[in-house]
Chain A
Amino acid sequence: MSETNRIDDILERAIDGERLTPDEGLLLLEKADLLSLGAAAHEVRMRLHPERVVTYIVDRNVNYSNICDSYCKFCSFYAAPGSKNGYILSRAALKQKIEETKALGGNQILMQGGTHPDWDIDWYCDLIAFCKSFDIHVHALSSPEIQKIAVVSKLSVRDTIARLRDAGLDSIPGGGAEILTDYARGEISPLKCTTDEWLDVHRQAHALGMRTTATMMLGHRERLVDRIEHLDRLRILQDEAHANAGTEEAGFTAFICWLFQPTHVLSGDEARGGTEYLRTLAVSRLYLQNVRNSQASWVTMGPKVGQMALWFGCNDMGSTMIEENVVSSAGVAYRMLSPEIHSVIAAAGFRAQERNFFYEPLEAQFLDSPERLREIVGHDPKNLALPAEAFDKVPASVAARR
Chain B
Amino acid sequence: MTRARILRSIVTSAGLDGLWDRASRGARLPRADLQKVIDCGHPLAAAALADAARENASGVDVTHPWTVRVRAPGVPVTAEDATRVSHAVEALAGIPSTEAQIVGVLPSDLPLGLAIEMVRSVKVARPDLTLRALDSARIDALAARDGTTIEHVLTELRNAGLDTLDWTPGEGRDARAAAVHRAAHESGFETVAPIGYTKGEVGPALLDRLDAMRAVAEDTGRFTAAIAVPDQSEDASPLRGTSGTEDTLACAVIRLALGHAVKHITTDAHVVGHKLAAVLLTCGASDFVGAQAAARWAPPSGDAARPLNPDRVRRFVIEARRSPVTRDALFRRVEASTGTPGTLDS
Contact = CB atoms under 8 A, between A and B. Distances in A.
Given A31-B1, A271-B312, A273-B315, A348 B243 contact: yes
Nearest to A7: B4
Contact of B246 (A15, A39, A274, A347): A347
A325 B304 CA distance: 15
Interface size range on A against B: 35 or more
Contacts of B272: 304
B4 A8 contact: yes
A17 interface: no
A348 B6 contact: no
16 contacts: A4-B2, A12-B6, A32-B4, A33-B4, A33-B282, A43-B6, A263-B304, A267-B300, A267-B342, A275-B281, A275-B320, A303-B244, A311-B44, A331-B303, A340-B237, A347-B199
A349 B282 contact: no
Contacts of B341: 268, 270
Given A303-B244, A336-B238, A339-B239, A275 B4 contact: no
Per CB-CB distance, the 10 closest pairs between chain A and chain B, nearest first, are A304-B244, A273-B278, A347-B243, A36-B4, A274-B275, A307-B244, A273-B316, A274-B279, A4-B2, A304-B276
Interface of A: 4, 7-8, 11-12, 15, 31-36, 38-40, 42-43, 262-264, 267-268, 270-279, 301-308, 311, 328, 331-333, 336, 339-341, 343-344, 347-349, 382
A274 B7 CA distance: 20
A264 B304 CA distance: 9
Interface of B: 1-7, 9-10, 41-44, 47-48, 51, 199, 234, 237-239, 243-248, 272-279, 281-283, 299-300, 302-306, 311-312, 315-316, 319-321, 341-343
Main secondary structure of the interface of A (DSSP, over half): helix
Given A263-B306, A343-B238, 11 more contacts: A38-B44, A43-B6, A262-B306, A272-B315, A274-B274, A276-B319, A304-B276, A308-B245, A331-B305, A341-B238, A349-B43
Nearest to A263: B300
A275 B279 contact: yes
A278 B282 CA distance: 11
A276 B281 CA distance: 12
A308 B272 CA distance: 13
A308 B245 CA distance: 6
Given A263-B304, A303-B244, A382-B303, A308 B278 contact: no
A343 B241 CA distance: 10
B281 to A, nearest CB: 7
A301 B278 CA distance: 12
B300 A8 contact: no
A42 B44 contact: yes
A349 B248 contact: no
Given A268-B341, A273-B274, A33 B244 contact: no
Given A304-B272, A347-B245, A333 B303 contact: yes
Given A15-B6, A263-B305, A270-B312, A305 B245 contact: no
